Structure 1
Amino acid sequence: MELFVEDMDVSVKFYRELLGFEVQRRAAGYASLRRGLVVLGLGPVAKLPAQGEGRGFTRQRLSVDKGAGVEIVLELDGLDELQALYEHCRERAVISEPLELRSWGLYDFRLADPDGYYLRITHGNAAARIG
């Protein structure tokens, strides 16, 4: 998955320092980050064409609302890891929805990245419960 972002430095810092991704590769127009099995690419909006026809990405199209209608789900290995990341994020970012048990049996919390991409952070074990 690649996200087009306004400020590469701000986005790399968000994913690295807040969510624990490691930078695998960094160049002027691209960054590749990894957390576990998840690989995330970041590219600058500025490298896109200003406008165009069809369904391709353009700066004009992304100026309306980046990520509208998309929820990016990061699934962690377990509930302890989820709780720790939630506490880390809660002290450093605006949480859209707090950590809670959902009707489908998993805990999650939600937040947006600096460009407004909506993130749901959850865990992979439906049997787990918070103490």
Structure 2
Amino acid sequence: MRLRMELFVEDMGVSVEFYRDVLGFAVERRAEDYASLRRGLVVLGLGPVAKLPAEGDGQGFSRQRLSAGKGAGVEIVLELDGLDELRALHERCQERAVVSTSLELRSWGLYDFRLADPDGYYLRITHGDAAAAQP
């Protein structure tokens, strides 16, 4: 099983730039109304909110549903291979985005930092090697 996440965004250009230029994703496919980006095993699809129906029947996404807050109740966790890669990305994010929590060692033994993408999707960036966090 793999995970592919689809995010509905207000401005395709701004979102593609953020994921490509700030977080280091590669654009695999780009059209006016869709973009597919990849970094390692993570695949993100971006589509415009404007393409969604105005109102929904509760079975899917609509512009009305997303107006309440994109990604409410969801934390998107992106895991890097090591602490050095995490530190480098944290530095780049501090220069080019608004980081909501700084890079810190958490009680569960991993470092992470948090930020929101241009649409307010909440991202936690961490690493997968707990042994690297030990002194």
Preserved contact between residue 96 and residue 112 of structure 1 (Cα < 8 Å): yes
Give the equivalent residue in structure 2 for 1:123.
127
Q: Deviations over 1:1-49 (max 9, x none)?
A: 1000000000000000000000000011100000011110000001100
Q: Percent identity?
A: 81
1:41 & 1:96 partners in 2: Cα distance?
24
Between the aligned partners of 1:2 and 1:91, the Cα distance in structure 2 is 26
TM-score of the superposition, structure 1-length normalised? 0.97
User: Out of 46, 53, 77, which is 1:49 matched to?
Assistant: 53
Q: Is the CA contact (8 Å cut-off) linking 1:79 and 1:130 kept in structure 2?
A: no
Give ranges in structure 1 of 5+ residues lacking alignment. Answer: none
4+ residue runs of structure 1 moved beyond 3 angstroms?
A: none
Q: Which runs of 5+ in 2 are unaligned?
A: none
Equivalent position SS for 2:58: coil
Give per-residue Cα distances to partners, 1:60-82, cap 9 Å, x unaligned: 01011000000001000000000
- Please report how far the alpha carbon of residue 128 of structure 1 lies from its aligned counterpart in structure 2 after TM superposition: 1.0
Root-mean-square deviation (CA, aligned residues, Å) is 1.1
What TM-score does the superposition give when structure 2 sets the normalisation length?
Answer: 0.94
What is the number of residues matched between the two proteins? 131
- Correspondence for 2:19: 15
